[in-house]
Structure 1
Amino acid sequence: MNAHAQTNTEATPVAGPPRINEPAPDFDTLTTDGRKQLSDYRGKWLILFSHPADFTPVCTTEFTAFARRAEDFAALDTQLLGLSIDSHYAHIAWIRSIKESFGVDIPFPIIADLDMKVAQAYGMIQPGASDTQAVRATFVIDPEGVLRAMVYYPMTNGRSVDEFYRLVQALQTSDAHKVATPENWVPGQDVIVPTPQTAEAAEARLSEGYDTKDWYFSTRAL
């Protein structure tokens, strides 16, 4: 395979960083599972996450954690897609190393982003941290290709995979039931009812049967 095959990555340029509730930047890129486009994930949720470099300890812990929860994410109709500014062959070698050293199979593809087009489109390059490596950025993209959440971590500290699993559950619940969720919400707990938008609705809220602490704060069971 020639060098062009390792770096042939296309991402739609954006005027500024990606923004929540707007279409996620498109991409057409080489991965460890063949070429992938954002449209390949249409109809499913997607977690796109970057890491600074292959063969590094913090990144290895994150990848093994995502791998161990891959089936749980799949049960939420959610796919995983990794990225770093490393070569296609480095990714393959790292996957093999993780299998040999930790006994963990990496079941999701990893983008080889040597030309940094995807990383730049998604704002994964933070000059204050590095001009040549992606920070630990995580993007939750819904089945319509809309960016619903993004979280950035520094290079020194690993992410909580459990939190991203919880976040997808919360987003799906909000979409399905038109509600909000409180701090650290997990399925089975009460959800927050939308706040009344008029004085008349606020007056009526007290008699609507919710657990109401004040006119703006009401919860209910699902």
Structure 2
Amino acid sequence: MKTIAVGDLAPEFALKDNRGELIELKSYRGKKVLLSWHPLAWTRVCAEQMKALEARLTDFERLNTVPLGLSVDSYPCKNAWAKELEIATVKLLADFWPHGGAAKDYGLFREAEGFSQRANVILDENGKVIWVKLYDIPQLPDIDEVFAVLSK
């Protein structure tokens, strides 16, 4: 399974968000998109990763960027978790069925564990990958690093 790379066209997906709304990647053409993959809801590092997206939403909007959080959890699980974390705006997508399908398409699914790699993938306005960074599972991604890339 080849991991998505800079220059690749991002595979399309249609996934339910934490509110049960179907989110299609293609609907964000004309904006940059941050796909922030986290292994599982209800874990400390994943919570901090997603809360950083919500906390910096104004900065994302200023840079014409939509942040999306993705994991293999179901959308009811993501909904309860978003409420617990007080995430009111950022969409947390459920790559639940087929299990990890989008993560597999991006080469980010960890078959042995049954969840995705922790990763940030930035797409340009046309859906082309402009940045990919993988993290160790216990490592919290640096949100300032993401903004450094988006600001270029």
- Name the TM-score, length of structure 2 as normaliser: 0.92
Counterpart of 2:13 in structure 1: which amino acid? F
Distance 2:101 2:58 in 1: 29
Q: Please report how far the alpha carbon of residue 17 of structure 1 lies from its aligned counterpart in structure 2 after TM superposition.
A: 3.0
2:101 to 117, 121, 124: 117
State the identity as a percent.
27
Unmatched 5+ stretches in structure 2: none
Equivalent position of 1:137 in the other structure: 119
The structure with the largest alpha-carbon Rg is 1
Q: Kindly indicate which of the two structures has a greater share of residues assigned to strand.
A: 2
Counterpart of 1:31 in structure 2: which amino acid? D
Equivalent position of 2:63 in the other structure: 76
CA contact (8 A) 1:64 1:106 kept: no
Aligned length: 149
Confirm whether residue 52 of structure 1 aligns to residue 36 of structure 2. no
Unmatched 5+ stretches in structure 1: 1-14, 100-104, 171-222
Counterpart of 1:126 in structure 2: which amino acid? R
CA contact (8 A) 2:3 2:108 kept: no
Distance 1:98 1:22 in 2: 33
1:34-88 alpha-carbon deviations (Å, 9 max, x no partner): 1111211100000001111111111111111111111101100000111111111
3-state SS, counterpart of residue 68 of structure 2: strand
Equivalent position of 2:15 in the other structure: 29
Equivalent position of 2:110 in the other structure: 126
CA contact (8 A) 1:85 1:116 kept: yes
Runs of 4+ aligned structure 1 residues displaced above 3 Å come to: none
Counterpart of 2:2 in structure 1: which amino acid? G
3-state SS, counterpart of residue 60 of structure 1: helix
RMSD of Structure 2 on Structure 1 (CA):
1.4
CA contact (8 A) 1:52 1:134 kept: yes
